[in-house]
């Protein structure tokens, strides 16, 4: 045992160790000191090596070179992953609100599944067909297409929309243009998930270019969202952009979050998920529980403030992150965990599987999932003129154009990405000074009488729609409603019967002077073939409601 160190030192006779300590100096020491100093020095070498490895994970490279085939494969993986994830979670969408989907709840999959959903439930794919509208605008109008081009295109399309998207569509068709169409005073769903689920295209056309992706999101995301609703899309696009040059999920999530202002609720929510993942690295359900306790009190969307329904962007973004971090780059587990977190359980696995699809590339998506995609990739995607194969090609085309524009290089089959360092966006916050205090379920049809509501607070949203008495599916009828607050006419609301161009909520008004108010809605072009259905209304005030404690 005493000879082995001697042979080692003799072998290194003319070398130095770290800190430039010469070997001859060590040889003059006694054996105990030699062993001691070698132990210390080699420990320093190991520590330095660990620090270098850590540095590689946390410091962004300046440039990264990919082959053209790898870039194409990653883009294809992103779109295929999104389509698979949306389909996988489809049957559970909003069936599990405020609860996780237990492991014994089986989720179906088979090779013809996507093709069947294309035909029987195309509205499921609002995650994707909104993206495709934006891609078509970019191809038609160029990479610098203004917000109005995107807005007009989706507002006049014939696909189904909900929440912030539908509210924005109505606003645009009635003269409220972006960014006002997504601003929370005009859109009660400004913090909802809508742009978050349709920002994939911005990340997939901006490999390594997180600020470029954010700029595209600024033009498109404010059409329908504001504040946390907009940040959700920027965050997802940022993770997509980062996934092209890193497979470190912790790093990808952290980079995606960097453009988001730290004082926003969105940033705080995702930061907490990251910390809970570190605290409970092997238990996604405990992370889910911690998040539920702190963040699932809905404030914005009037459909969810007093029940378990939660379509808030920050909540559902947290479920995406839980899927990514706890999925550990396993395609099924990533998608499955994001689904089993509940709420918008088709959109969340779509995003998570899309980001992981970019990391892995299409070739490395497990073969089990591919036949379902390959059966539809030459079919026109629902509500689009494009096929998946055409989408792959267009995203690659737009990506290479942006790469060349933003300091990258394209040399034959080698493509060099100029990696951008994230820049923090401006701070936006929806529903400041607005706290939901009361909801009343009405569920009443109106014809001859006005809708009358006395309330105390600083805002109100009235939920409802136009209903046919004759069961007709199509009609051009538009109800005209004059709205009065405290006796003064404040607006004439147009309520189309047509589902595609409908007004999502009957009326909303925020930032009134806090106090007692009288609301009256008069139907001035009554038609006995229709009714105005008031579903419910939500009251807001400038301070949170105090919990009732009868014992005090």
Flag whether 85 is in a domain. Answer: yes
Flag whether 547 is in a domain. Answer: no
- Cα separation, 383 vs 339, in Å, equals 25
Flag whether 550 is in a domain. Answer: no
pLDDT at 551: 63
Averaged pLDDT, groups of 10, the chain, 552 residues long: 32 35 45 51 45 47 96 98 98 95 95 96 91 96 97 94 97 98 98 97 98 98 98 98 98 98 98 98 98 88 93 97 98 98 97 98 98 97 95 98 97 96 98 95 96 98 96 94 98 97 98 98 97 97 83 60
Q: Looking at residue 371, which CATH number applies to its domain?
A: 1.10.4080.10
Flag whether 211 is in a domain. Answer: yes
- Cα separation, 159 vs 57, in Å, equals 42
Task: Select from 359, 393, 418 the last residue of a domain.
Answer: 418
Flag whether 469 is in a domain. Answer: yes
Helix (H) or strand (E) segment spanning residue 533: strand 530-541
Terminal-residue alpha carbon distance, the chain: 79
Flag whether 424 is in a domain. Answer: no
361/503 same-domain check: no
One-character DSSP codes across 487-530 = TEEEEEEEEESSGGG--SSSEEE--PPSEEEEEEEEESS--TTE
143/182 same-domain check: yes
Flag whether 152 is in a domain. Answer: yes
234/349 same-domain check: yes
pLDDT at 297: 84
40/142 same-domain check: no
30/90 same-domain check: no
170/290 same-domain check: yes
Flag whether 93 is in a domain. Answer: yes
pLDDT at 40: 45
pLDDT at 547: 77
**411-441: pLDDT as tens digits:** 989 999 999 999 999 999 999 999 999 999 9
**37-73: pLDDT as tens digits:** 545 444 444 444 444 343 344 567 999 999 999 999 9
CA distances from 288 to 154, 230, 277, 281, 343 (A): 35, 23, 10, 12, 12
Of 229, 153, 149, whose CA–CA distance to 197 is shortest? 229
CB distance 191 to 302 below 8 Å: no
122/269 same-domain check: yes
525/378 same-domain check: no
Helix (H) or strand (E) segment spanning residue 467: strand 459-468
**357-381: pLDDT as tens digits:** 999 999 999 999 999 999 999 999 9
pLDDT at 114: 97
**Total domain count, the chain:** 3
21/77 same-domain check: no
**How many other C-beta atoms lie within 10 A of the C-beta of residue 343?**
27
pLDDT at 211: 98
- The range of the structural domain enclosing residue 71 comes to 63-418
Long-range contact set of residues 2-11: C-beta below 8 Å, sequence gap at least 24: 2/31, 5/31, 5/34, 5/35, 5/38, 9/34
pLDDT at 36: 53
pLDDT at 25: 39
174/40 same-domain check: no
Q: Looking at residue 476, which CATH number applies to its domain?
A: 2.60.120.260
330/445 same-domain check: no
207/116 same-domain check: yes
- Cα separation, 492 vs 497, in Å, equals 16
Task: Select from 58, 74, 95 the last residue of a domain.
Answer: 58
Of 370, 379, 382, 376, whose CA–CA distance to 110 is shortest? 370
Task: Select from 371, 387, 418 the last residue of a domain.
Answer: 418
Q: Where would I find the beta strands (DSSP E) of 3-91? A: 16-17, 21-22, 63-67
């Amino acid at each position: 045992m005493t000879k082995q160190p001697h042979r080692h030192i003799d072998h290194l006779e003319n070398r130095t160790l770290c800190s430039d300590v010469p070997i001859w100096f060590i040889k003059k020491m006694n054996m105990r000191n030699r062993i001691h100093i070698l132990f210390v020095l080699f420990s320093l070498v190991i520590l330095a090596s660990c620090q270098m490895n850590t540095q590689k994970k946390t410091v962004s490279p300046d440039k990264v070179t990919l082959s053209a085939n790898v870039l194409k494969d990653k883009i294809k993986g992103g779109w295929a992953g999104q389509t698979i994830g949306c389909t996988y979670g489809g049957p559970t969408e909003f069936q599990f609100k405020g609860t996780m989907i237990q492991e014994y709840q089986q989720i179906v999959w088979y090779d013809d599944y996507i093709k069947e959903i294309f035909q029987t439930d195309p509205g499921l794919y609002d995650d994707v067909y909104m993206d495709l509208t934006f891609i078509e605008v970019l191809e038609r109008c160029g990479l610098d297409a203004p917000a109005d081009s995107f807005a007009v295109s989706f507002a006049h399309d014939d696909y189904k929309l909900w929440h912030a998207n539908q509210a924005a569509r109505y606003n645009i068709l009635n003269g409220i243009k972006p960014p006002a169409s997504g601003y929370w005073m005009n859109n009660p769903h400004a913090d909802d998930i809508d742009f978050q689920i349709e920002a994939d295209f911005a990340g997939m056309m901006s490999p390594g270019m997180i600020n470029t992706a954010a700029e595209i999101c600024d033009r498109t995301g404010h059409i329908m969202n504001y504040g946390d609703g907009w940040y959700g899309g920027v965050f997802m696009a940022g993770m997509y952009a980062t996934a092209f040059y890193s497979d470190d999920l912790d790093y990808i999530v952290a980079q995606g979050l960097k453009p988001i202002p730290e004082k926003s609720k969105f940033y705080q929510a995702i930061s907490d998920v990251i910390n809970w993942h570190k605290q409970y690295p092997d238990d996604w359900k405990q992370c889910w529980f911690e998040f539920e306790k702190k963040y699932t009190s809905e404030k914005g969307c009037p459909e969810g403030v007093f029940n378990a329904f939660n379509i808030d962007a920050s909540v559902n973004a947290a479920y995406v992150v839980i899927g990514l971090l706890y999925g550990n780059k396993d395609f099924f587990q990533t998608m499955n965990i994001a689904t089993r977190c509940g709420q918008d359980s088709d959109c969340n696995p779509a995003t998570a599987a899309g980001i992981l699809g970019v990391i892995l590339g299409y070739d490395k998506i497990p073969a089990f999932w591919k036949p379902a995609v390959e059966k539809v990739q030459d079919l026109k995607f629902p509500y689009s003129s494009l096929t998946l194969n055409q989408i792959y090609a267009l995203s690659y085309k737009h990506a290479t154009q942006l790469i060349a524009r933003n300091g990258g290089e394209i040399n034959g089959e080698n493509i060099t990405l100029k990696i951008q360092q994230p820049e923090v966006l401006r701070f936006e916050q929806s529903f400041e000074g607005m706290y939901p205090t009361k909801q009343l379920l009405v569920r009443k049809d109106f014809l001859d009488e006005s809708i009358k509501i006395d309330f105390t607070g600083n805002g109100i949203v009235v939920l409802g729609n136009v209903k046919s008495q004759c069961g007709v599916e199509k009609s051009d009828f538009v109800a005209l409603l004059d709205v009065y607050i405290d006796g003064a006419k404040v607006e004439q609301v147009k309520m189309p019967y047509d589902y595609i161009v409908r007004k999502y909520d009957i009326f909303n008004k925020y930032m009134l002077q806090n106090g007692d108010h009288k609301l009256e809605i008069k139907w001035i072009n009554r038609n006995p073939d229709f009714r105005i259905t008031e579903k419910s209304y939500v009251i807001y005030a400038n301070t949170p409601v105090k919990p009732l404690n009868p014992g005090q």
